[in-house]
Amino acid sequence: MALIEKLNASVRRMRAGRVRLVSGLVLMVFLAGHLINHSLGLISYQSMEIGREVFLAVWRNGLGTTVLILALVLHGGLAIAAQLRRHSFRRIAPGEMIQIVLGMAILPLAALHVVGTRGLHEVFGVNDTYAYVLLSIWRFSPWDGLQQAILVIVAWLHGCLGMHYWLRLKPGYGDWLPYLYATALLLPVLALLGFVSGAREVNALFEDQAWRDAAFATFNLSEGAAPWAYALVGKIYVGLAVALVVIGGGRAAWLLLHGRQQRVTITYPDGQRTVVSPGTSILEASRNAGIPHASVCGGRGRCSTCRVRVMAGLDDLDPPSEAEQLVLARVGMPEGVRLACQTRPLKNISVLPMLPARVQPREGYKRPAYLQGTEREIAILFADLRSFTKFSQSKLPYDVVFVVNQYFRYMGQAIEESGGHLDKFIGDGVMALFGLTTTSRRGAQDALRAAQAMAKALTEMNETLAHDLDEPFRIGIGIHIGPAVIGEMGYAKAVSVTAIGDAVNTASRLETLNKEYGSQLVFSEEVAQAAGLPTAGLRTEQVTVRGRDEALTIYVVEDATTMPEIVERKKMKKKILIKPASTPSPT
Domains of the chain by range and CATH?
Answer: 15-252 (1.20.1300), 264-364 (3.10.20.30), 371-562 (3.30.70.1230)
Higher pLDDT, 477 or 251: 477
Single-letter amino acid code for the residue at 509: R
Q: What burial letters (b/e) apply to 377-404, b meaning 16+ CB within 10 Å?
A: bbbbbbbbbbebeebbeebeeebbebbb
Residue 576 is predicted with a pLDDT of 37
Higher pLDDT, 143 or 387: 143
Q: Is the pLDDT of residue 15 over 70?
A: no
pLDDT in tens, 336-354: 899 998 999 989 999 999 8
In order of 233, 292, 394, 451, 508, the CA distances from 563 in angstroms are: 83, 54, 34, 9, 21
Q: How far apart are CA 306 and CA 499, in angstroms?
A: 25
Q: Is the pLDDT of residue 108 over 60?
A: yes
Q: What is the DSSP string of 315-354?
A: GGSPPPPHHHHHHHHHTT--TTEEETTT---SS-EEEEES
Of the listed ranges 40-49, 131-140, 304-313, 559-568, the one predicted with least confidence: 559-568
Q: Is the pLDDT of residue 232 over 90?
A: yes
| Banded pLDDT at 580 (limits 50, 70, 90) | very low
DSSP, collapsed to helix, strand or coil, labels residue 438 as coil
